[in-house]
Structure 1
Amino acid sequence: MADRRLQVFHAVAKQLSFTKAAETLYMTQPAVTFQIKQLEEHFNTRLFDRGHGRISLTPAGELALEYADRILGEYADLEARLAEMTGQMRGPLLVGASITIAEFMLPRVLGEFNALYPNVRARLVVGNSETIENRVAEHSLDLGITEAIEHLPQLQAETCCDDELQVICSPSHPLARESAITPAMLRDHAFIAREPGSGTREVTDNYFRQAGVDPASLKVLMELGSPEALKGVVSTGLGVAIVSRASFHKELQLQHLVAIPLSPRLTRPLSLVTPKEKFRSKLVTSFVDFARRKLQEYAA
Structure 2
Amino acid sequence: MADRRLQVFHAVAKHGSFTRAAEHLFMTQPAVTFQIKQLEEQYNTRLLDRGHGKISLTPAGELVYAYAERILGLSEELESRVAELTDELSGVLNIGTSTTIAAYWLPPLLNSFKRRYPRVIPRVAVGNSQLTEDRVAARELDIGLIEIVTDQPAIERRSAARDELLVICQPGHALSRASELKAQDLLEHPFITRDPGNAIRELAEEFFEAAGISTSELNITAELGSLATVKHLAAEGMGYAIASSAAIRRDVREGRLAGIPLEPRLYTPLEVITPRDKFRSRLITTFADHACEEFARMAQGGTGIE
Query: What's the offset of the Cα at 1:64?
Result: 5.3
Give the Cα–Cα distance (whole angstroms) in 1 for the partners of residues 174 and 12 of structure 2: 50
The structure-2 alpha-carbon separation of the partners of 1:119 and 1:262, relative to structure 1 and needing over 3 Å to count, comes to: same
Give the Cα–Cα distance (whole angstroms) in 1 for the partners of residues 48 and 244 of structure 2: 43
* Number of the residue aligned with 1:145: 145
Query: What's the offset of the Cα at 1:228?
Result: 1.9
Name the SS of the counterpart of 1:80 in structure 2.
helix
* Number of the residue aligned with 2:212: 212
* Number of the residue aligned with 1:189: 189
* Number of the residue aligned with 2:6: 6
The structure-2 alpha-carbon separation of the partners of 1:67 and 1:224, relative to structure 1 and needing over 3 Å to count, comes to: farther
User: What TM-score, normalized to structure 1?
Assistant: 0.86
8 Å Cα contact 2:165/2:242 also seen in 1: yes
Give the Cα–Cα distance (whole angstroms) in 2 for the partners of residues 48 and 267 of structure 1: 49
The structure-2 alpha-carbon separation of the partners of 1:29 and 1:290, relative to structure 1 and needing over 3 Å to count, comes to: same
Give the Cα–Cα distance (whole angstroms) in 2 for the partners of residues 139 and 124 of structure 1: 14
Name the SS of the counterpart of 1:83 in structure 2.
helix
* Number of the residue aligned with 2:126: 126
The structure-2 alpha-carbon separation of the partners of 1:50 and 1:142, relative to structure 1 and needing over 3 Å to count, comes to: same
Name the SS of the counterpart of 1:243 in structure 2.
strand
* Number of the residue aligned with 1:58: 56
When structure 1 is superposed on structure 2, of 18-27 and 170-179 the one drifting more is: 18-27
* Number of the residue aligned with 1:281: 281
Give the Cα–Cα distance (whole angstroms) in 2 for the partners of residues 234 and 17 of structure 1: 41
- What does 1:66-85 align with in structure 2 at a 5 Å threshold? 66-85=66-85
When structure 1 is superposed on structure 2, of 30-39 and 156-165 the one drifting more is: 30-39
The structure-2 alpha-carbon separation of the partners of 1:221 and 1:143, relative to structure 1 and needing over 3 Å to count, comes to: same
* Number of the residue aligned with 2:88: 88
Matched-pair identity in %: 46
Query: What's the offset of the Cα at 1:13?
Result: 4.8
Aligned length: 297
Letter matched to residue 262 of structure 2: L
User: What TM-score, normalized to structure 2?
Assistant: 0.85
Query: What's the offset of the Cα at 1:294?
Result: 0.9
Query: What's the offset of the Cα at 1:59?
Result: 2.3
Query: What's the offset of the Cα at 1:253?
Result: 4.1
Give the Cα–Cα distance (whole angstroms) in 2 for the partners of residues 66 and 57 of structure 1: 17
* Number of the residue aligned with 1:49: 50
Over aligned residue pairs, what C-alpha RMSD do you find? Answer: 2.6
The structure-2 alpha-carbon separation of the partners of 1:28 and 1:252, relative to structure 1 and needing over 3 Å to count, comes to: farther
Name the SS of the counterpart of 1:207 in structure 2.
helix
When structure 1 is superposed on structure 2, of 217-226 and 249-258 the one drifting more is: 249-258
Give the Cα–Cα distance (whole angstroms) in 2 for the partners of residues 253 and 241 of structure 1: 18
The structure-2 alpha-carbon separation of the partners of 1:98 and 1:196, relative to structure 1 and needing over 3 Å to count, comes to: same
8 Å Cα contact 1:149/1:199 also seen in 2: no
Give the Cα–Cα distance (whole angstroms) in 2 for the partners of residues 111 and 12 of structure 1: 35
Whether 1:154 and 2:154 are equivalent positions in the alignment is yes
8 Å Cα contact 1:170/1:257 also seen in 2: yes
Letter matched to residue 50 of structure 2: D
The structure-2 alpha-carbon separation of the partners of 1:109 and 1:64, relative to structure 1 and needing over 3 Å to count, comes to: farther
Residue-by-residue CA offset, 1:124-182 (whole Å, 9 max, x unaligned): 12222222222222222222111113420232211101111111112332212222211
The structure-2 alpha-carbon separation of the partners of 1:190 and 1:57, relative to structure 1 and needing over 3 Å to count, comes to: same
* Number of the residue aligned with 1:203: 203
Give the Cα–Cα distance (whole angstroms) in 2 for the partners of residues 243 and 232 of structure 1: 12
The structure-2 alpha-carbon separation of the partners of 1:164 and 1:67, relative to structure 1 and needing over 3 Å to count, comes to: farther
8 Å Cα contact 1:132/1:144 also seen in 2: yes
Letter matched to residue 57 of structure 1: I
* Number of the residue aligned with 1:233: 233
Give the Cα–Cα distance (whole angstroms) in 2 for the partners of residues 14 and 237 of structure 1: 46
